[in-house]
Amino acid sequence: MDTVSFRQMKDGTKEDYEFLTAHEIDHTRHTAKRLLSALVDLDQSLSGYQITRLGHSVQSATRAWRDGADVDWVVAALLHDIGDIYAPYNHDEYAATILKPFLREQCTWCVSTHGDFQMLYYGHHLEGFDQHKRERHRGHVYFDDCAEFCERWDQASFDPDYDDLSLEFFAPLVEEVFARKPYDPAVIRAGARAPLVDAAVAEARQNRG
């Protein structure tokens, strides 16, 4: 079988849907590679900063790595702006939707709300912007984590002189994350919090970049 038999989904057969499911499973195996390619495409996104959007993404992940952050945090930092090209008005939610099946809930929530938290750094300079938009999330279990995510890794990562690790360095971590079973409770860990910084791990990584 090369294609399904139906022209309307309601006319599909068991064989049709078994065929499509096999194709879907194979397609999902390559999600990480497609996302890494999409990161490169971020260089076609918003300009005007001293570094590209890809550079910002890699720098955010590099800072997370050097802080001793775990794999979920590092991948969240790398992919937090992946929606910039296709969803400029809700890029944070777009990125979080991609990450949600495969990352700890804590990280996904921070990605989904980081746009509100980032306004602390520039909202007061622009008419009609709410510098304190993050306050709508005050009291959430992950509020402090998102505040730290933005302070340490997001707002700080626009430095053209920073010694970034390469995108290729992070590729195995992205592959690892997207090879996970989607929505695995052992991965999602709803309500759990892991620190963004681990001094012992950071020290062990010093010789790796």
- What is d(CA 209, CA 193) in angstroms, rounded to the nearest whole number? 26
The answer as to whether 1 is a domain residue is no
Q: Tell me, yes or no, if the pTM score tops 0.85.
A: yes
Position 154, amino acid: D
| Model pLDDT, residue 208 | 66
Number of other residues whose CB lies within 10 A of the CB of residue 28: 13
Apex CA 52: angle with CA 46 and CA 53, to 5°?
65
| Model pLDDT, residue 30 | 87
For the chain, the domain total comes to 1
| Dihedral over Cα of 65, 71, 77, 81: its sign | positive
CATH number of the domain within which 141 lies: 1.10.3210.10
The answer as to whether 154 is a domain residue is yes
105-118 vs 91-99: helix axis angle to the nearest 10? 170
The answer as to whether 162 is a domain residue is yes
Q: Which two tokens stand for residue 30?
A: 């390559």
| Model pLDDT, residue 43 | 83
The answer as to whether 128 is a domain residue is yes
Q: Which two tokens stand for residue 190?
A: 């709803």
Q: What is the mean pLDDT of each run of 10 residues along the chain (209 residues)?
A: 93 93 85 92 82 96 98 98 92 97 98 98 96 98 98 98 97 97 97 98 84
Q: Which domain holds residue 124?
A: 13-208
The answer as to whether 38 is a domain residue is yes
